[in-house]
């Protein structure tokens, strides 16, 4: 097939149900506000990806922003790196972060999906790899061990090799009681991660992490504000539990800044913020040079492709925001997820989209 050329970009806003609400120290996510993005090419190939808007309030401005970018991209070749460089140059003074960074990253994923579909290959093969099992953990919000005990045990029965819960909604005594009970429920052989969602100051983070040491946690995620790299470095230097961060880094330079101050033991870039697949490839090179384990944040479908070619691949986060609107959602197979194709394996379930679409 000849080189693909962008003809149009379509977006649709949906609010999809979640298999369980996500409760955090900063609030609850009861449903999943998604912007479905399709890059339509002159050759008849459509590349798709979705954007997680965090709140329905952002769906309309995100839709409008894509419409403003369309004239810049129409008629351009489907070359992900070139298109990202084009938009980076266009918005040099503004910078690629916030809503603009989310859109640019999602466009990148859709362009890669189009290339994969045109070649009738999964994206992981275009990246030089092949579909392979990537171990996954089930990602929870704040939990009540008494109320959620059966569901937590079911996560283990499904084959998940790790469980992540969120903390920070109460005091240290509550954290300790929660972790103690969850560890009892899931057993010693299951990796247990905790996520504070940026809710602590460095001193308090150090105090709580010292107290959590007996529970053999896989990591403690974002104990302090994501942008507080010095705070993360201080926590890391004064505690023994591994510090995980990265989901709020914007594009590869944020990853480089964090690594330069030794802010973390592990990283988990978010494809929607790190620059999509193109941005991920840069960051995984930084991680390889630093021998830094890399996990994913959200976006199961695309993450299964990039993690499969990441030299320091660690864990895939299983939080299936997109599953309700996909024809073939990602599934757990013996505790792992395997990349689907062609492209990213993203094909909309149009009946479900019509059910959940919003103006």
Q: Compute the average pLDDT of residues 245-251.
A: 97
**Structural domains counted in the chain:** 2
Considering the domain architecture, whether residues 104 and 227 belong to the same structural domain is answered as: no
pLDDT surpasses 80 at 174: yes
Considering the domain architecture, whether residues 203 and 320 belong to the same structural domain is answered as: yes
Of 90, 120, 150, which one is at a domain's C-terminal end?
A: 120
Considering the domain architecture, whether residues 84 and 129 belong to the same structural domain is answered as: no
Q: What is the CATH number of the domain that holds 220?
A: 3.20.20.120
Q: What confidence tens digit (pLDDT) does each residue in 328-338 have? A: 999 999 999 99
Phi/psi for 139 (5° steps) reads -105, 115
* Residue 175 located in a structural domain: yes
Q: What is the CATH number of the domain that holds 43?
A: 3.30.390.10
Per-residue pLDDT, 334: 93
Going by pLDDT thresholds of 50, 70 and 90, the confidence category of residue 27 is confident
Per-residue pLDDT, 169: 83
Which of 117, 166, 273, 305 is catalytic? The answer is 166
Is 305 an active-site residue? no
Residues 6+ apart with CB under 8 A from 199: 25, 26, 167, 168, 169
Considering the domain architecture, whether residues 224 and 336 belong to the same structural domain is answered as: yes
Q: What confidence tens digit (pLDDT) does each residue in 195-241 have? A: 999 999 999 999 999 999 999 999 999 999 999 999 999 999 999 99
Considering the domain architecture, whether residues 286 and 212 belong to the same structural domain is answered as: yes
Considering the domain architecture, whether residues 289 and 212 belong to the same structural domain is answered as: yes
Structural domain including 214 reads 125-349
Work out whether strand 336-337 and strand 134-142 pair parallel, antiparallel, or are unpaired.
antiparallel
Of 95, 120, 145, which one is at a domain's C-terminal end?
A: 120
Is 164 an active-site residue? no
Q: What confidence tens digit (pLDDT) does each residue in 286-343 have? A: 999 999 999 999 999 999 999 999 999 999 999 989 999 999 999 999 999 999 999 9
> Distance (Å, rounded) from C-alpha 154 to C-alpha 156?
5
Considering the domain architecture, whether residues 226 and 294 belong to the same structural domain is answered as: yes
Tokens of 137: 């953990």
> Distance (Å, rounded) from C-alpha 75 to C-alpha 192?
48
Which of 164, 232, 297, 305 is catalytic? The answer is 297
């Amino acid at each position: 097939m000849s080189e693909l050329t962008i003809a149009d970009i379509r977006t649709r806003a949906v609010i999809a149900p979640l298999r369980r609400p996500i409760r955090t120290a900063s609030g609850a996510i009861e449903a999943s506000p998604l912007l479905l993005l399709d890059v339509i090419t002159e050759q008849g190939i459509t590349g798709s990806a979705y954007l997680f808007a965090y709140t329905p309030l952002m769906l309309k401005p995100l839709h409008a922003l894509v419409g403003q970018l369309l004239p810049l991209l129409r008629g351009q070749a489907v070359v992900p790196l070139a298109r990202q460089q084009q938009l980076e140059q266009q918005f040099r003074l503004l910078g690629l972060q916030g809503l603009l960074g989310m859109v640019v990253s999602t466009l990148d994923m859709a362009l890669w999906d189009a290339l994969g579909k045109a070649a009738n290959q999964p994206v992981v093969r275009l990246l030089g790899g092949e579909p392979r099992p990537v171990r996954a953990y089930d990602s929870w919000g704040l939990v009540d061990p008494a109320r959620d005990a059966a569901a937590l045990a079911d996560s283990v029965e499904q084959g998940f090799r790790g469980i992540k819960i969120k903390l920070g909604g109460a005091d240290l005594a509550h954290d300790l009681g929660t972790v103690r009970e969850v560890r009892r429920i899931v057993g010693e052989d299951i990796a247990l991660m905790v996520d504070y969602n940026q809710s602590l100051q460095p001193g308090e983070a150090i105090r709580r992490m010292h107290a959590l040491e007996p529970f053999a946690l896989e990591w403690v995620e974002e104990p302090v504000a994501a942008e507080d790299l010095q705070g993360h470095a201080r926590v890391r230097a004064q505690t023994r539990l591994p510090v995980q961060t990265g989901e709020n880094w914007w594009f590869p330079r944020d990853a480089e800044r964090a690594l330069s101050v030794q802010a973390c033991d592990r990283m988990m870039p978010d494809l929607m913020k790190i620059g999509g697949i193109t941005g991920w490839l840069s960051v995984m090179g930084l991680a390889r040079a630093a021998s830094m384990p890399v996990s994913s944040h959200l976006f199961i479908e695309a993450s299964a492709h990039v993690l499969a070619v990441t030299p320091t691949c660690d864990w895939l986060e299983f939080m299936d925001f997109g599953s309700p609107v996909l024809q073939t959602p990602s599934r757990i197979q013996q505790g792992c997820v395997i990349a689907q194709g062609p492209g990213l394996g993203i094909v909309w379930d149009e009946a479900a989209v019509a059910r959940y679409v919003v103006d």
